[in-house]
Amino acid sequence: MTIEDVSKRLGVNNSKIMRYICKGLFRRHYNKIKPYLTAANKKSRLQWCVDMIDPHSTPNDPHFKDLFDHVFIDEKWFFLTQKSAKYYLLPDEDDPHRTNKSKNYIP
């Protein structure tokens, strides 16, 4: 993911990798994980949103419930992969395509 990682793997120094990038022998590619949603995932997400609407506010002025009794935990330190990753590729290499059921809930 970094120039240092590439230089360690290839056994050359960082400045040589930078020169290769400037000459076009390597290229940087930023890759964000794409959600892979099934119809059931989409339906459950929409149902959760609908359930968060305050039933006393409908049909005149619908608004969402207060979420003071909900706790959302950020588990990003335990993920197998990151949401965004940087790759150094050869010019003719294909861009990596990464998908997951949800980009917010990576196993």
- Higher pLDDT: 20 or 37? It is 20
Distance (Å, whole) CA 70 – CA 23? 52
Q: Does some domain include residue 34?
A: yes
Question: Which value, to the nearest 10 degrees, does the dihedral of the CA atoms of residues 14, 27, 107, 52 take?
Answer: 120
pLDDT exceeds 60 at position 13: yes
Taken as a whole, the chain contains a residue count of: 107
Q: Does some domain include residue 105?
A: no
Domain span at 91: 3-100
Look-up of token digits 């196993």? 107
Q: Does some domain include residue 12?
A: yes
**Sign of dihedral through CA atoms 98, 99, 105, 107?**
negative
Predicted local distance difference test score (pLDDT) of residue 83: 64
Q: Does some domain include residue 107?
A: no
Q: Does some domain include residue 8?
A: yes
Q: What is the pTM for the complete model shown?
A: 0.38
